[in-house]
Structure 1
Amino acid sequence: MNNDDLAAGRLQGLPSRKQIAAMMLGTNPHRHTFSGWQHYRATRTRFVPPPRLTVRQRRQLPDDRAYDYDLYRRLTNVNLPLQDTPMLLKVRQVIERRLQGNTLRINSPTMPGVMVSGWGNHGKTAAVCAIAAAFEDAWLALHQSLNPEAIPGTWDLHAPVVYVQTPVTATPKSLCETILNFFALNRWKFTLPQLIRLVADSLRDHGVKALIIDDINRLRMHRADDQDVLDLLRGLMSFNVTLILTGVNIPGTGLLREAAFNQGTRQWTLPPLEATRVHGMEVTQIERRFELVEIDRFHYDTPQEMQAFVAHLRGIEDHLRLLKAKEGMLTTGSMPEYLMRRTNGVIGLLSRLIEDGAQDAMTSGKENIDQALLDQIIIGRDTSDEEDEGVEAKKDVPRPDRTGTGKRRRKPRNTVFDDHGPRDEAAG
């Protein structure tokens, strides 16, 4: 790239303004539908940052292309890449092992599943979706994008991975409808047993190997509907799919309160709940196994942990596009300790702080990130204690009985507006 190219606006790797606008304003379908998941899977690694320019080189661009370059830089600075952190590698190892093992099973009555737990902003959904998308890429390549279990004469979509979210008000019926919505199937006027059968047929006919159910922490085991949903989830494990559940503080939700952790196999054993029927449908009483993996934050205690954190900062630094960015902008001096202190190693908060800092650096013309700039940015609350994050998960847990009778004391009913009948005139 020479000065003549810059003067002519021929900046290699810089999309046109129309292409940049399409990236900013184009539709981004949600991944809980088949089309949305396929869009995510196909585009998750396609984003390419623009070339690096100095202040002098940027001034040599024509005004219209300089505007395009700055616009693309902003787009780059708020779309940080997903990196191979130690936390992601641990989750990947567990999920890949389970998926590979389950897809090789022959005539297995039930498939072991995985639970991915962690606090907010720890990157659970991003990690699980990236791992599952990579698995689907490999699965489609292995089978030439064809469903090896397809029924002759049918045109079913091939969907090795299904991603859905737990309904806000979860019931067995609403969960079935959520799964069927992924395939845009008409599920109206069906009874619950018919919906469950339709879900089973859909998972089989579409060649589903992994079913991801996000936000599983919405379930609370003191509600009968939620217990029925958990029984339904266990039933889904007998449909030849690997169930991957993700949520905030899963052990604290009660989903595992009756589980026993096997130190030998490093797995959680889940016995059947008291509710053994899902609205008349008997669920299998075979003991199911989930492997629970916690996705943690960065730590900064040992040399290995420090190196991992600095390596992550270096990856972010290489991705950012600031005209006056110095080498080691995020990784030298006291900056790593500062960023750890501000974010407590939580990857989501770290990304937000740096993204906001990059935007302010461009707006102010500083074009560099330092501690003085980041001091002006508020990221919710700068936390150093994660225990407070469990408060939200405990909101819906019933309060313990304090009456000593085994029953909760009920609040007396307000009788102010009760009609006590006609008034006795003699008494009046």
Structure 2
Amino acid sequence: MNPGPAGPARVTPFVLSGVTADRETAEGWARWRVTRHAFVAAPDLDLAAYRLLSPRARGLHDLHRAATHANLAFQETPMSVAVTRLLGARISANALKRQPTTRAGVMINGGGYQGKTETACEVAASFEDQWLDLHAQLNPDAVPGTRDLHAPVAYAQTPVTATPKGICEAVLDFYGADHAKMTLPQLVQQVRAALRDHGTTVLILDDITRLKMHREADQDALDLLRSLMSMNVTLVLIGVGIPGSGLLREGRRDPRTGVLLNPPAGRGKSYNDEAATQTERRFDLVHLDPFSFDTPKAKTAWTAHLAGVEQQLRLLDRTPGMLTTGTMPEYLFRRTAGIVGLLERLIEDGCTDAIDTGAERLTTDQLDGLDINLGNLPATHLVDERPAIPTGDRTARKGRNTVFDEQTPTTAAATTAIA
């Protein structure tokens, strides 16, 4: 905020655009990439400074606060950091390869509302920023005499009915390429030409578990994805329940290391068991899990995340430790099961209620009256992506803070039990 000439402070102006960047087009992706960190949060005023504002300035400030709570900055978690490191290293290494060998891809697995898509898109956008700067915003492999659109990263959602033609059309739609009345071989050729001509080095396919491998068309689609990996492109597949979807053969986690172990290929009911190894050997599978609350280290990480969220809130009666002291960390974990998307929804709704009622702070009693409602998600959102919302006793235990207490196996199980 800037001090005015006569004393009262002026609210920093901000603009609310009614258009949301559509990352499924090259233009929309570019717009999102260059503006993804452009939002400016509302000034952090206390009640005394707020009362000095004119009625109109208060209204604008309240609107800016609401926008701030609806656009909380993306925060890394210990789990997303592991994904970022693997994905960033794989994209960079593949982009520098010059041998005509197949590029290894990455599969990101995790439950709904855990930040898989945002984590992958942020890594890809950061790579594209550096790649464009390295090549002076130009396509280093452009065809002489042409001015092809340079798109180092392409993002598409897997169609609801995932067929080879549907996947090709979704990728071509990103570039705005015409694909009317094309046969499958023509579509495949068009996709390969589009990836090459636009200098695309990273192809992200979201909701990949729409591919159900019991259908022959889906097996053909998987063959198509493998063929795209030979186009010097890092293929990034994002989905829920990837290990059990058939994209990789059913495996189990090693309880000691947490690594997914796949059994050796054998002669089963699949039309081509041996071909499955071409997938598992060409992809790194990484899991993006929610927070846990069963060890002191896990509790510390959860509390640190809450501290980052708290600093972004613009409530007039916000006090240090509002989300991180007392029983609040344990309460918020119970309400959200450690899922960052559910936490964001609960905090956003809580801040709206706190402003509307004049409470201007978050408490467990106030949050008890709010339900986490995911019913207003877009119709295109997968049902499988919607996480189970914890139910049961919402009331936090009163008394001393037990957040950092050592837990026995019995109490740990009780604490982490989510309905």
- Which TM-score band applies after superposition, normalised by the shorter structure? 0.7 to 0.9
Residue of 302, 306, 330 corresponding to 2:299: 306
Judged with a 3 Å threshold, the aligned counterparts in structure 2 of structure 1 residues 229 and 199 are, in CA distance, closer, same or farther, namely: same
After TM superposition, the structure 1 stretch with the greater mean CA deviation from structure 2, 25-34 or 348-357, is: 25-34
Mapped partners of 2:2, 2:78: distance in 1: 41
Q: How does 1:18-417 map to 2 (within 5 A)?
A: 19-20=14-15, 23=16, 25-257=17-249, 274=271, 288-380=281-373, 392=384
Is the 8 Å Cα contact of residues 116 and 124 (structure 1) preserved in structure 2? yes
Q: Supply the RMSD in Å over aligned alpha carbons.
A: 2.9
Amino acid at match of 2:53: L
| Corresponding letter in the other structure for 2:294 | D
CA distance in 2, matches of 1:313, 1:110: 42
Number of corresponding residues: 370
8 A Cα contact 1:6 1:61, kept in partner: no
Shift of the 72–180 alpha-carbon distance from structure 1 to 2, 3 Å rule, reads same
Specify every segment of 5 or more residues in structure 2 that has no aligned partner in the other structure, as ranges.
Answer: 375-382, 386-419
> Partner letter of residue 95 of structure 2?
T
Q: Name which of structure 1's ranges 315-324 and 140-149 shifts more when overlaid on structure 2.
A: 140-149
- Contact (CA 8 Å) 2:248, 2:280: kept in 1 or not? no
Q: Could you say if the C-alpha distance between residues 224 and 6 of structure 1 is closer, same or farther in structure 2, counting changes exceeding 3 Å?
A: farther
Post-superposition offset of 1:286 = 9.6
AA of the residue aligned to 1:70:
D
> Does the CA-based 8 Å contact 1:119-1:248 persist in structure 2?
yes
Q: Which amino acid aligns with 1:101?
A: A
TM-score normalized by the length of structure 2: 0.82
CA distance in 1 between counterparts of 2:93 and 2:52 reads 57
* Corresponding letter in the other structure for 1:353: L
CA distance in structure 2 between the partners assigned to 1:97 and 1:219 by the alignment: 27
Q: Which residue type is aligned with residue 146 of structure 1? A: L
Counterpart in the other structure of 2:408: none
Residues 1:6 and 1:176: Cα distance change in structure 2 (over 3 Å): farther
Report the alpha carbon displacement of residue 140 of structure 1 after superposing the two structures with TM. 1.0
What is the CA distance between 1:30 and its match in structure 2? 1.2
Distance 1:193 1:200 in 2: 11
Superposed displacement of residue 8, structure 1: 4.8
1:199-234: CA deviation from partner (whole Å, max 9, x where unpaired): 101101111111000000111111111111111111
Aligned to 1:415: none
Contact kept? 2:108, 2:236, Cα under 8 Å: yes
- Asked if structure 2 preserves the Cα contact closer than 8 Å seen for 1:7 and 1:62, the reply is no
8 Å contact from structure 2 (residues 243, 251) kept in 1: no
SS at match of 2:360: coil
Inter-CA distance 337–223: structure 2 relative to 1 (3 Å threshold): same
Counterpart Cα distance in 2 of 1:138 and 1:314: 30
- Percent of aligned pairs with the same amino acid: 49
* Contact 1:159–1:207 (Cα < 8 Å) also in 2: yes
| Alignment CA distance shift 1:98-1:260 (3 Å) | farther
Residues 261-306 of structure 1, C-alpha deviations (whole Å, 9 max, x = no match): 9999x78889897469xxxxxxx97985110000000012222212
